[in-house]
């Protein structure tokens, strides 16, 4: 009885605390006369006012408020009427809590490796989402394997949708990237557009991974023998690592890279990051298309080693092509010196 009360009540309590905190940040940010004060000497204003404080154009604290309020309502009803929701509803809310936890981990990584500043209130919020996810997972009373097997068709649909969104968003991002390069640089406005597309890609990737786990759990023995599945796992891993590198290393420097000039003779950094930007874009789009194509077929007539070799070969060709284009772009800029491209050191 105690466990039932604990796992039903603790998400409500943590969500109430999280909602109060998120709304406090939201309204304090909009009051220009007030400043957020970090209780343990962090840099709250630098974090909550950064470009990473929005996701898909919406303030992160507003998204957090909506999440906490949803959890309060759901678990509040569950606490008053224990059998009100079906196992399916409980499963989806538990999955939602896990996704919220992963998103909070992403935001903590942003603070640690990109902003290199800490917001105490943001860390408290991450802690709340962690405790909610733990309570949701360990308090679950449903059979995960049975539910995933029963709703396999739904999981497959969302898995395919995630792959399609990922391919589409990556393609659009690359098209916009090359369009923006007409003046041989990326402006702040253009970078903002690309960051929004990047958020869409991250959502697609998260959905792809979550639904992929949902497909794997009830059929793990069979899938571990599938070369198609194993190559797809490698491709998704590459997309994830490449995406992290793009977000943490390339994206913050995008407006300071000139894509049509030689680097400063002392640093050499603009040329390095320019080449990395092209290479990462090539890795991303080739890997997403591989994932999409693998998801469209039942199996591949290749062993895992052969399939992996083919995938690596395609990615390498894409990288080589991106570096060739970099050379072409530089030569084109040399022939059109009247086109301005402001150079900034990194």
Percent of the chain with pLDDT over 70: 86
Quote the CA–CA distance of 176 and 179 in Å, as a whole number. Answer: 5
Q: Which of 145, 149, 164 is nearest to 295 (CA)?
A: 164
The residue among 142, 170, 196 that closes a domain is 142
Within a domain: residue 75?
yes
Same domain, 110 and 176: no
- Does 77 reside within a domain? yes
299: left (phi over 0), alpha (psi -120 to 50) or beta: beta
Same domain, 273 and 180: yes
Long-range contacts of residues 322-328, Cβ cutoff 8 Å, at least 24 apart: 322/278, 322/279, 322/281, 322/282, 323/275, 323/278, 323/279, 325/278, 326/259, 326/274, 326/275, 326/278
* Residue 343 resides in a domain: no
Are residues 314 and 170 located together in one domain of the fold? yes
Q: Tell me, yes or no, whether 311 and 280 share the same domain.
A: yes
Cβ–Cβ under 8 Å, residues 276 and 250: yes
Statement to judge: residues 163 and 287 lie in one domain: yes
- CATH code, domain with 105: 1.20.1440.130
Asked if residue 318 and residue 193 are part of one domain, the reply reads yes
Q: Are residues 323 and 177 in the same domain?
A: yes
> Do the domain assignments include residue 26?
yes
Residue 139 has pLDDT above 70, yes or no: yes
Asked whether residue 17 is assigned to any structural domain, the reply reads yes
> 188-236: per-residue pLDDT in tens?
788 888 888 888 998 899 889 989 998 998 999 999 999 999 999 999 9
Domain of residue 10: give its range. Answer: 2-142
Q: Is 299 helix (H, G, I), strand (E, B) or coil?
A: coil
Count of domains in the chain? 2
pLDDT bin (cut points 50, 70, 90) of residue 20 is very high
State whether 121 and 229 are in the same domain.
Answer: no
Residue 255 predicted with pLDDT over 70:
no
Residues 235 and 113 in one domain: no
Residue ending a domain, among 142, 166, 196, is 142
Quote the tokens at residue 125. 């919020």
Q: C-alpha distances in angstroms, 199 versus 194, 195, 227, 341?
A: 9, 6, 30, 27
Look up tokens 């990051």; give the residue.
273
pLDDT category at 329 given cuts 50, 70, 90 is confident
Residue 22 lies in a domain: yes
**103 contacts 84 by C-beta, under 8 angstroms:** no
Kind and range of the H or E element at 205? helix 188-216
In-domain check, residue 346: no
| Average pLDDT of every residue of the chain | 83
Q: Does 77 lie in the same domain as 12?
A: yes
Domain-embedded: residue 292: yes
Write down the pTM of the prediction. Answer: 0.80
| Domain end point (choices 93, 123, 142) | 142
Same domain membership, residue 207 and residue 94: no
- Regarding whether 175 and 113 lie in a shared domain, the answer is no
């Amino acid at each position: 009885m105690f466990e039932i009360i604990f796992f039903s009540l603790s998400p409500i309590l943590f969500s109430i605390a999280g909602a109060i905190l998120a709304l406090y940040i939201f309204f304090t940010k909009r009051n220009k006369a007030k400043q957020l004060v970090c209780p343990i000497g962090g840099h709250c204003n630098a974090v909550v006012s950064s470009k990473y404080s929005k996701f898909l154009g919406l303030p992160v604290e507003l998204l957090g408020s909506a999440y906490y309020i949803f959890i309060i309502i759901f678990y509040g009803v569950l606490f008053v009427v224990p059998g009100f929701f079906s196992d399916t509803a409980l499963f989806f809310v538990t999955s939602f809590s896990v996704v919220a936890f992963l998103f909070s981990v992403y935001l903590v990584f942003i603070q640690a490796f990109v902003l290199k500043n800490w917001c105490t209130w943001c860390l408290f919020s991450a802690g709340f989402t962690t405790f909610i996810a733990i309570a949701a997972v360990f308090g679950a009373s449903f059979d995960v394997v049975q539910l995933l097997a029963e709703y396999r068709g739904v999981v497959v649909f969302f898995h395919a949708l995630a792959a399609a969104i990922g391919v589409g968003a990556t393609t659009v991002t690359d098209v916009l990237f090359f369009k923006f390069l007409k003046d041989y640089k990326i402006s702040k406005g253009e970078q903002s557009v690309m960051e929004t597309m990047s958020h869409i890609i991250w959502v697609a990737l998260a959905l792809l991974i979550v639904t992929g786990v949902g497909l794997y759990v009830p059929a793990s023995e069979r899938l571990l023998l599938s070369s198609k599945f194993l190559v797809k796992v490698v491709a998704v891993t590459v997309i994830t690592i490449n995406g992290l590198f793009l977000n943490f290393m390339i994206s913050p420097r995008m407006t300071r890279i000139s894509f049509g000039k030689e680097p400063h003779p002392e640093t050499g950094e603009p040329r390095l990051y320019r080449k990395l930007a092209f290479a990462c874009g090539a890795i991303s789009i080739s890997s997403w298309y591989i994932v999409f194509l693998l998801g469209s077929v039942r199996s591949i007539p290749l062993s895992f080693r052969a399939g992996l070799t083919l995938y690596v070969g395609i990615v390498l060709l894409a990288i080589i092509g991106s570096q060739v284009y970099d050379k072409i772009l530089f030569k084109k800029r040399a022939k059109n010196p009247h086109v301005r491209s402001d150079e900034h050191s990194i």
